[in-house]
Amino acid sequence: MTEDSFQKFDELCAGYVLNTLNSREHQEFENLLAKADNNQLKKYRYMRSAANHLAFAVKGTEPPEYVKNNIMTQIQSGFDDSKDERTDIIVSRGRGVKQQSASEQKDQETNWLFFAVAASIALLILCLSLVFYSFNLSSQINQHEETINEQQQIITELEQEIRYKNELLSVLESTDISIITLRGMESNPNGFGKIIQGSDTGATLIQVSNMQPVPEDSLYQVWIIRNNKYISAGTFEVNDAGNGFSRMDQGEDFNIRATDTFTVTLEPEGGSLQPTGDTYLMGSNGNRQ
């Protein structure tokens, strides 16, 4: 190594330890330092140590107590346990000073944690709300279905009544009408009814009122008494008000005028071949109108 190169090393070294080199010279000296022998390394260390002693020429100034508190708080709160939590003052030319404190990063992590917990709670509340809404909706649907069934039942009954009324109307529109009045018997003294037949179509109807409610597994049965013989003329039911209406299908040749008596008895469900129960209504041609 020449004397010039020694001089260059020393000058760069002085500039380096005083931090006055430009970036090119800085890099140049670090390259020299990487290849430096022990004497050069020793020279560098002495020169650096001497430069650092200039700090002793500065009059000491007491920093505020909170600086120390900040330092101790940060290291005791695990400052060194995570590189991500470093408080760092990053200084570079043209970029200004960027200070990123551990507390700020911790705040960010806390914010994210808070956000995650809040989002989870919100999601849970949403799920519970949906379950409650679904349960409530299901309950409402059941109520509506019950209402629909009830309305359907009413509609069916009304349709039935309309059909009966139409049938009655068609009978009443006939040229000639035969009516036999049925009166309540001992078992049902308030009951009454009519058997109506139109001459044009031969259609025969029975209409009853104030009948007692029919026990379960029972129904009313109409009988024709002709020549002292009972002939079944059909069965019918009554509604909750005790009213009933039914068509008696005995064929085109059936003529109520040729019948002696009509009776209505209570029989087991499905009807009987001969009357077995009490007689509720009775009427004869003598009651014909």
Partner 1 sequence: MIIFAALYGKTDGGSVDESELLIRIQNREPEALEQLYDLYKSHLFGLILSIVKKRKVAEQILQQVFLNIWQQAETFDAERDNVFNRLVTFSRSGAINYNRSSAPDQDNENAAALRETFSSIEGGYPDPFEATIDNDRKELVHRALSGLPEKQLDILKSAYYRGMTQEEIANSLNIPVEEVKKSMLEGIQSLEQTLKQFISGND
Give the footprint of partner 1 on this chain (CB under 8 A): 10-11, 13-15, 17-22, 25, 41-42, 45-64, 67-68, 70-72, 74-76, 79-80, 86-89, 91-97, 99
User: How many degrees, rounded to 5, is the angle at CA 99 between CA 94 and CA 105?
Assistant: 140
Nearer to partner 1 by Cβ, of 50 and 162: the residue is: 50
CB of 66: closest distance to partner 1 in angstroms?
Answer: 8
Token match 């129904």: residue? 219
Nearer to partner 1 by Cβ, of 22 and 227: the residue is: 22
CB of 110: closest distance to partner 1 in angstroms?
Answer: 20
CB of 116: closest distance to partner 1 in angstroms?
Answer: 29
Nearer to partner 1 by Cβ, of 61 and 228: the residue is: 61
- Which tokens belong to 100? 């990123």
Nearest by Cα to 167 from 205, 121, 211, 224:
205
CB of 27: closest distance to partner 1 in angstroms?
Answer: 14
Nearer to partner 1 by Cβ, of 82 and 111: the residue is: 82
If 0-12 CB within 10 Å is exposed, 13-18 middle and 19+ buried, where does residue 256 land?
buried
Name the strand (E) or helix (H) holding 194: strand 192-198
CB of 137: closest distance to partner 1 in angstroms?
Answer: 60
Token match 């009830």: residue? 150
Confirm if 43 and 33 have CB atoms less than 8 A apart. Answer: no
Nearer to partner 1 by Cβ, of 14 and 179: the residue is: 14
- Which tokens belong to 235? 């069965």
Nearer to partner 1 by Cβ, of 31 and 82: the residue is: 82
CB of 72: closest distance to partner 1 in angstroms?
Answer: 6
Confirm if 198 and 173 have CB atoms less than 8 A apart. Answer: yes
CA–CA dist 252, 225 (Å, integer): 18
